[in-house]
Amino acid sequence: MTQTVAVLGTGKIGEALLSGMIRAGWHAADLLVTTRRTERADELQGRYGVDSVSNAEAAKRADTLILAVKPQDMGKLLDELAPHLTADRLVISAAAGITTSFIEERLAPGTPVVRVMPNTPVLVDEGMSVISAGSHATGEHIVHAEEIFGGVGKTLRVPESQQDAATALSGSGPAYFYFLVEAMTDAGILLGLPRAQAHDLIVQAAIGAAVMLRDSGEHPVKLREAVTSPAGTTISAIRELENHGVRAALIAALEAARDRSRELASGNG
Ligand SMILES: NC(=O)C1=CN([C@@H]2O[C@H](COP(=O)(O)OP(=O)(O)OC[C@H]3O[C@@H](n4cnc5c(N)ncnc54)[C@H](OP(=O)(O)O)[C@@H]3O)[C@@H](O)[C@H]2O)C=CC1
Ligand SMILES: O=C(O)[C@@H]1CCC=N1
């Protein structure tokens, strides 16, 4: 049976997922989007050939609804959906912090809800989507979520109690790497390299390091040791990183992201 999937609140992550689903072979005719602004609806219809409908219409027509609004907009969206949504539909939320119980409490009793934390590399089919079942979601619902998000990268099942941590590591994770690239490019400028060259050198170092981490099966310490020659350049840099507390800063940063995800659970921001 053909399934209709609607993305509700098609902003950055919603569009990234939509584009990935189309690349993965979903037909535009089986996809719906909802937006708050008509210009955005026109843009998405023009770009992907998908129908843009109201949230109420999506609730009536879609078998699976992917909620991709900001956590602060989730309460309002659920109020709009509730009168039109029956408990035979699957609701997938991609919102940081929002718990499955927050959603279940606002929808028809028994509605299956799955919480997913994707990240923006779904745009290049290298996403990571961390998946948890709500209290009425079955194994089949989880498999369906894995089919959707697995088309644009990897998936991992975790208990919902680990979702805030996963959000800190994986949902926000790409931003930390972009931040590092930006800072290291600035360092290249300081050392006298043209910006474009500094950027290319750092990006290729990042790609090479990432592929080695993924494919070699080696522990990151071992990979770093292989770069760190006695009395060489790398150890001079590592000493500065340790002197400036970069390891401690990363631990504190991810803890702050985890805590912020917990705060967002109220839906009030
Ligand atoms: N960006 C990321 O890397 C990730 C984001 N997420 C989660 O995804 C969600 C969206 O984030 P992001 O894509 O960055 O944010 P965006 O603001 O880009 O997307 C949210 C979209 O929802 C629209 N919207 C808000 N309310 C409604 C409504 N009632 N009906 C229809 N559309 C509505 C907004 O419209 P308008 O344009 O008018 O504001 C906006 O386009 C968040 O909950 C976030 O936690 C999860 C993983 C990664
Ligand atoms: O910053 C945020 O809140 C969202 C959730 C994970 C990535 N971006």
Q: List pLDDT tens digits, range 217-256.
A: 999 999 999 999 999 999 999 999 999 999 999 999 999 9
Pure H helices in 98-172: 100-106, 139-150, 163-166
pLDDT score, position 176: 98
ipTM over 0.95: yes
- Domain(s) of CATH 1.10.3730.10: residues in the chain: 173-264
- Domain(s) of CATH 3.40.50.720: residues in the chain: 5-163
What tokens appear for 261 in the block? Answer: 């995800």
Query: Rounded to the nearest whole angstrom, what is the distance from the C-alpha of residue 249 to the centroid of ligand 1?
Result: 28
pLDDT score, position 1: 54
CATH fold for the domain made of 5-163: Rossmann fold (3.40.50)
Average pLDDT, the chain: 97
The answer on pLDDT for 260 being more than 80 is yes
Q: What is the mean pLDDT of residues 194-216?
A: 97
pLDDT score, position 268: 78
Which atom of ligand 1 is least distant from the CA of 71?
Answer: 43
The answer on pLDDT for 40 being more than 80 is yes
Is residue 142 within 8 Å of residue 124, measured between CB atoms?
no
Strands 51-52 and 113-117: unpaired
Query: Rounded to the nearest whole angstrom, what is the distance from the C-alpha of residue 67 to the centroid of ligand 1?
Result: 9
- CATH 1.10.3730.10 for domain 173-264, yes or no, is yes
Q: pLDDT by residue (tens digit) across 67-96?
A: 999 999 999 999 999 999 999 999 999 999
Which atom of ligand 2 is least distant from the CA of 117?
Answer: 6
Give the ligand at the shortest distance from the Cα of 93: 1
Mutational pocket test of ligand 1: of 10, 13, 17, the residue with most ligand atoms within 8 Å of the beta carbon: 13
For the chain, the straight-line distance linking the first and the last C-alpha, in angstroms and rounded, comes to: 39
- Identify which has the larger pLDDT, 266 or 132: 132
pLDDT confidence of 267, banded at 50, 70, 90? confident
Rounded-to-integer distance, Cα 142 and Cα 146, Å? 6
Q: What is the CA radius of gyration of the chain?
A: 21
